A and B are shown apart, each in its own frame.
Chain A
Amino acid sequence: MSESNPSIQKEAPPSSGSSEASDILDLKDDEGWEDAEPDEEETQFISLLDDEVFTDIMSMLNHCKDKHNFDFLQVRQRLGLDFYGNIKLVNYIRTQVHNGHKVTEDVSKEAFEDEKFLKPLLEDDALLFSLDELPDVEQNFSASQDNGKGAERDSGELVSRVSELEEELRMMQTQFDNYRATVKETLDERWNNQDTTEQSSNAKKEETRDDDSHYFSSYSYNDIHETMLKDAIRTDAYRDFIYNNKSLFAGKVVLDVGCGTGILSMFCAKAGASRVIAVDNSAIIDKARENVFANGFSDTITCLRGKIEEVNLPVDKVDIIVSEWMGYCLLYEAMLDSVIWARDRYLRPDGLMVPSHMNMWVAPIADPDYVSDHIAFWRDVYGFDMKAMQAGIHDDAQVLHMPASTVCAEPFPFLQLSLHSTTVKDLVFKRKWVGKLKQDIDALDGFIIWFDSFFMPSREDIVPQDAKAEEWAKTGKRGNAFTTGPNGTATHWKQGVMLIENTKTKPESRKEGEQLSGELEYSVPEDNSRALTVGMTWKFDSEEKENSQKWNMK
């Protein structure tokens, strides 16, 4: 269905973390972290039944067997424990011992049935990490036969049982990986525990309205990330800028706001960043953490779940902020507010924003095919008049990739945002625009809005407000750029399409050369801070009549 992605480069996976990667707990460049625990280079297995410490799991278990007459391996074999059962058993024993109770070999499964025993008693319990090094538990077939199918099983059944078990094993390995990541997460969380008092007072303030939970949960599924990763125009642009400017990233501390699956963080780590802090408030952060781990970047990249305004970063300042925050019509979903907040709070005065500039464009369109497919359609549906369905189609902005041929006047650059200086106030605005028809049209059907994104290697670089990304690279300019406009390859942003309500009066045809002008307004509706309202006025120079219309994006 979709095309294969020619831009995905085959690269050897990194052998291990970058050589100068700092340890996850080695917070050399910040104050206030002295109380963090010292590095634990050597794995330490604390005995299940007393305080003795061992450097390998078997010596520890042998110790328990010899000194306390408790054969852990035999107990788990007898109980036929699965992976979680093992974890529960370990935590159960540790809880009992911790509370001064004795645990004997005849412990029953019921004793540690409770889910609470999935939670480690000891932080970083090496035994839990090493359960997979222990010999396999032989599955007790009779135990699994309690579904009353009878004693006779032919070889086919056994074979299928084996493959089921293999399947289970595969699942468990995945679960174990997840578990590992979860344990890591508790480490990350410790950073956040520092000032819970402040957070709880924040929480009170926020009991008002929730525009965010849908927003964040909508990013927790695979699909949307697949769409974004496969948007090669987008992902290539970030990759090319980061890899072509390794000197900018080498040894730097980078903040990735809204990291998603962690791809930009990994680009930065690979480009030599000494430390990357990846923040996302969606559940996808768990996958990001696994991806980072699978690619050997755990030492360099720290994944934190939370809103950027609320999480505690392990550093006070960063050298670079990288973020893919752009929404439909650039500002839909209002993520830029958070990026600006992060810049003001965390970016060093000489730090770099990636990307650095956005040029926004508007153009009038004439698209009779779209209008007949989606608007005229309702006039006769299987012989019925369904024009009632037309109402509203002009109230919302659509997201569509329009053919360049529908653009009927030269696009107008109505606003530039320079990420190093833009403030939140700049994100609601009114801008004048002008245009001149470059072809005869039957009707002016609407307007489209898009943006060009620029990546400049220095804060001092200037991008003209009318610079077009599609021409930027061709003219050998510094940096990188990509366009989401109708003249470029379609991106997942496509264009924002505002259709003019033309159904009530018959629209007039227009001639090449006719001039028009108007004003474009971005505002945020009062009832949803993540939505966007685009207002437009327009007027042909030859007429007195001024038209106006508003569209919502929600």
Chain B
Amino acid sequence: MADETMKGMDHSEVHYFNSKKGIHEEMLKDEVRTRSYMNAIVQNKHLFKDKVVLDVGCGTAILSMFAVKAGAKHVIGVDMSTIIEKAKEIVEVNGMSDKITLLQGKMEEVELPFPKVDIIISEWMGYFLLYESMLDTVLYARDKYLAPNGLIFPDKATIFMAGIEDGEYKDEKIGFWDNVYGFDYSPLKHTALTEPLVDTVEIKAVVTDPTAVLTLDLYTCTTADLAFSSPFVLDCRRSDFVHALIAWFDIDFTACHKPIRFSTGPHTKYTHWKQTVFYLREVLTVEQGEQIRGVLENKPNEKNKRDLDVKISYQLQTDDPTRQAQGSCEYKMC
């Protein structure tokens, strides 16, 4: 991860997590994430027994080791990063070297010891689900290696949105630039408004019902689906102000005997993905029962495919002419 992706972290944390170990420590310590994968794999031995498993972006190989524990015949872990050297040591000390083959390289370039695999496991999700995500690599692996009727863990991802009241923090993050030690810093305000913020949002800040804006079925979706334009409707649950729209995602393992799902939303336990906050330039004044209708557009940046261009257009549906509001904002995740 690059420095600039880590909005909401302070400088030394950025420094710390940039040393690769930091990232892996943070992910392993994200209990919602790691425990969900563990349960999805270890509680479904009937699915994993004697199967060939591919772990896309294996990192420290924790998921590969879960798969071995669940009875897999063999696991292939692939990762581009030098972390693979550590993964090999870890697999060795845990006595699984004969069950796990670890390969460093791009999915498109490495040669797997098996022509087809029965199961693909991967933790590919990025901030806002798609930022710096490895989904395209997972889809490539699916198309090339997954046997017919093979399984994918997880196999469903859903992006949700909601509107939030966030006056105080918006003032601190955005309004800050209006008066910096007595000086007008508005040139930096414009930049700040186009940078979505990755941060934890308290549930009490949420003003609208959440709504699903995109569902990806990993068995069928293609990379073309990663550029999308989805309409949404947010029902206002109480009369309040709306300063920002937020997005998060849920992840499903539907192949499990008892389906397992985890959410990265504001209503549940902290994950390292937090939520993504898109500040609106104006403040919406909403009444209970009214709706905010809009469209969320997302596409990879043409120049740098790892960056995302996000556009949100919105309109407050109200009969009160003094509160009518609509607009559109463009954001760049980079």
Residues of A within 8 A of B (CB): 1-2, 4-5, 8-13, 159-160, 163-164, 167, 174, 177, 218, 221-227, 229-230, 235, 239, 261, 263, 266-267, 270, 287, 290-291, 294-295, 328, 374, 377, 381-382, 384-389, 391-393, 396, 398-401, 492, 494
- Across the interface, do B38 and A263 meet the contact criterion of CB distance under 8 Å? no
Residue B305 at the chain A interface, CB threshold 8 Å = no
Q: Which of A1, A174, A230, A385 contacts B8 (CB 8 A)?
A: A1
Can you show 13 pairs from A to B with CB atoms below 8 A apart?
Answer: A8-B180, A8-B181, A11-B182, A223-B7, A225-B188, A229-B181, A235-B181, A294-B184, A328-B15, A388-B86, A389-B60, A391-B86, A399-B12
CA distance A284 to B34 in the complex (A): 39
Residue B169 at the chain A interface, CB threshold 8 Å = yes
With A11-B182, A263-B181: A392-B21 Cβ-Cβ less than 8 Å:
yes
CA distance A8 to B178 in the complex (A): 11
Q: What is the 8 Å Cβ interface bit string for chain B, positions 78-101, against chain A (1 contact, 0 not)?
A: 000000001001100110000000
Chain A residue nearest in CB terms to B89 = A388
Q: Given A377-B29, A401-B12, output 12 extra A-B contacts at Cβ < 8 Å.
A: A11-B182, A13-B183, A160-B315, A163-B327, A222-B195, A224-B3, A224-B11, A328-B12, A384-B65, A385-B93, A389-B60, A392-B21
Q: Which residues of A contact B188 (CB under 8 A)?
A: 222, 225, 261, 287, 291
Q: Which of B21, B173, B187 contacts A393 (CB 8 A)?
A: B21
Q: Which residues of A contact B222 (CB under 8 A)?
A: none
With A388-B90, A492-B11: A239-B181 Cβ-Cβ less than 8 Å:
yes
With A159-B326, A224-B11, A492-B11: A389-B25 Cβ-Cβ less than 8 Å:
yes
- Across the interface, do A230 and B183 meet the contact criterion of CB distance under 8 Å? no
- Across the interface, do A385 and B90 meet the contact criterion of CB distance under 8 Å? yes
The 7 closest A-B pairs by CB, nearest first: A11-B182, A290-B187, A388-B89, A399-B12, A294-B184, A388-B90, A385-B93
Q: Which of A174, A230, A263, A267 contacts B190 (CB 8 A)?
A: A174
- Across the interface, do A10 and B179 meet the contact criterion of CB distance under 8 Å? yes
Q: How far is the CB of A260 from chain B (nearest CB, A)?
A: 11
- Across the interface, do A386 and B181 meet the contact criterion of CB distance under 8 Å? no
- Across the interface, do B181 and A492 meet the contact criterion of CB distance under 8 Å? no
- Across the interface, do A230 and B90 meet the contact criterion of CB distance under 8 Å? no
Q: Which residues of B contact A261 (CB under 8 A)?
A: 180, 185, 188
- Across the interface, do A295 and B183 meet the contact criterion of CB distance under 8 Å? yes
Chain B residue nearest in CB terms to A294 = B184
- Across the interface, do B187 and A218 meet the contact criterion of CB distance under 8 Å? no
CA distance A9 to B183 in the complex (A): 10
Chain A residue nearest in CB terms to B173 = A226
- Across the interface, do B21 and A163 meet the contact criterion of CB distance under 8 Å? no
CA distance A494 to B182 in the complex (A): 26
- Across the interface, do B4 and A223 meet the contact criterion of CB distance under 8 Å? yes
Residue B191 at the chain A interface, CB threshold 8 Å = yes
With A263-B180, A382-B62, A388-B86: A400-B12 Cβ-Cβ less than 8 Å:
yes
* In the complex, chain B residues 2-57 whose Cβ is within 8 Å of any chain A Cβ: 3-4, 7-8, 10-12, 15-16, 19, 21, 24-25, 28-29, 34-35, 38
CA distance A494 to B38 in the complex (A): 36
Q: Which of A2, A224, A263, A401 contacts B172 (CB 8 A)?
A: A2
With A13-B184, A291-B185, A389-B21: A1-B315 Cβ-Cβ less than 8 Å:
no
With A8-B179, A10-B182, A492-B11: A389-B24 Cβ-Cβ less than 8 Å:
yes
Q: Which residues of A contact B215 (CB under 8 A)?
A: none
- Across the interface, do A384 and B187 meet the contact criterion of CB distance under 8 Å? no
Q: Which residues of A contact B173 (CB under 8 A)?
A: 226
Chain B residue nearest in CB terms to A332 = B15
The binding surface of chain B is classed by DSSP as helix
With A222-B188, A381-B28: A386-B182 Cβ-Cβ less than 8 Å:
no
Q: How far is the CB of A393 from chain B (nearest CB, A)?
A: 6
- Across the interface, do A291 and B187 meet the contact criterion of CB distance under 8 Å? yes
Q: Which of B25, B35, B184, B191 contacts A295 (CB 8 A)?
A: B184
CA distance A295 to B4 in the complex (A): 28
Residue from the set A159, A384, A401 with the largest chain B CB neighbour count within 10 Å: A384
- Across the interface, do A386 and B90 meet the contact criterion of CB distance under 8 Å? yes
Q: Which residues of A contact B315 (CB under 8 A)?
A: 160
CA distance A286 to B39 in the complex (A): 51
Chain A residue nearest in CB terms to B185 = A291
- Across the interface, do B21 and A385 meet the contact criterion of CB distance under 8 Å? no
Q: Which residues of B contact A226 (CB under 8 A)?
A: 173, 176, 192
Q: How far is the CB of A297 from chain B (nearest CB, A)?
A: 9
- Across the interface, do A167 and B183 meet the contact criterion of CB distance under 8 Å? no
Q: Which residues of A contact B158 (CB under 8 A)?
A: none
- Across the interface, do B187 and A294 meet the contact criterion of CB distance under 8 Å? yes
Q: Which residues of A contact B168 (CB under 8 A)?
A: 4
Q: Which residues of B contact A401 (CB under 8 A)?
A: 12
Residue B200 at the chain A interface, CB threshold 8 Å = yes
Residue B186 at the chain A interface, CB threshold 8 Å = yes
Chain B residue nearest in CB terms to A399 = B12
Chain A residue nearest in CB terms to B93 = A385
Residue B288 at the chain A interface, CB threshold 8 Å = no
CA distance A261 to B93 in the complex (A): 51
Q: What is the 8 Å Cβ interface bit string for chain B, positions 91-128, against chain A (1 contact, 0 not)?
A: 00110000000000000000000000000000000000
- Across the interface, do A384 and B62 meet the contact criterion of CB distance under 8 Å? yes
Chain A residue nearest in CB terms to B29 = A377
- Across the interface, do A227 and B10 meet the contact criterion of CB distance under 8 Å? yes
Residue B328 at the chain A interface, CB threshold 8 Å = yes
Residue B199 at the chain A interface, CB threshold 8 Å = yes
Q: Which residues of A contact B25 (CB under 8 A)?
A: 374, 377, 389
CA distance A160 to B328 in the complex (A): 9
Residue from the set B4, B179, B185, B326 with the largest chain A CB neighbour count within 10 Å: B185
Q: Which residues of B contact A160 (CB under 8 A)?
A: 313, 315, 326
Q: Which residues of A contact B65 (CB under 8 A)?
A: 384
- Across the interface, do A230 and B176 meet the contact criterion of CB distance under 8 Å? yes
CA distance A392 to B249 in the complex (A): 34
Q: How far is the CB of B40 from chain A (nearest CB, A)?
A: 13
CA distance A164 to B314 in the complex (A): 11
CA distance A381 to B33 in the complex (A): 13
Q: How far is the CB of B21 from chain A (nearest CB, A)?
A: 6
CA distance A116 to B261 in the complex (A): 54
CA distance A187 to B188 in the complex (A): 23
Q: Which residues of A contact B186 (CB under 8 A)?
A: 294
- Across the interface, do A287 and B187 meet the contact criterion of CB distance under 8 Å? yes
- Across the interface, do A381 and B62 meet the contact criterion of CB distance under 8 Å? yes
Chain B residue nearest in CB terms to A293 = B187
Q: Which residues of A contact B326 (CB under 8 A)?
A: 159-160, 163
CA distance A232 to B172 in the complex (A): 14
Q: Which of B34, B182, B200, B328 contacts A164 (CB 8 A)?
A: B328
CA distance A174 to B186 in the complex (A): 10
Q: Which residues of B contact A218 (CB under 8 A)?
A: 3
- Across the interface, do A389 and B90 meet the contact criterion of CB distance under 8 Å? yes
Residue from the set B25, B86, B182, B326 with the largest chain A CB neighbour count within 10 Å: B182
Q: How far is the CB of A244 from chain B (nearest CB, A)?
A: 14
Q: Which residues of A contact B90 (CB under 8 A)?
A: 384-386, 388-389
Q: Which residues of A contact B19 (CB under 8 A)?
A: 396
Q: Which residues of B contact A2 (CB under 8 A)?
A: 10, 172
- Across the interface, do A399 and B187 meet the contact criterion of CB distance under 8 Å? no
Q: Which residues of A contact B187 (CB under 8 A)?
A: 177, 287, 290-291, 294
Q: How far is the CB of B64 from chain A (nearest CB, A)?
A: 10
Q: Which of B21, B169, B181, B191 contacts A222 (CB 8 A)?
A: B191
Q: Which residues of B contact A291 (CB under 8 A)?
A: 183-185, 187-188
With A13-B184, A388-B89, A393-B21: A492-B94 Cβ-Cβ less than 8 Å:
no
Chain B residue nearest in CB terms to A289 = B187
CA distance A377 to B22 in the complex (A): 12
CA distance A26 to B94 in the complex (A): 74
Q: How far is the CB of A175 from chain B (nearest CB, A)?
A: 10
Q: Which residues of B contact A270 (CB under 8 A)?
A: 182
- Across the interface, do A9 and B181 meet the contact criterion of CB distance under 8 Å? yes
Q: How far is the CB of A104 from chain B (nearest CB, A)?
A: 37
Q: Which residues of B contact A229 (CB under 8 A)?
A: 176, 180-181
Q: Which residues of B contact A377 (CB under 8 A)?
A: 25, 29
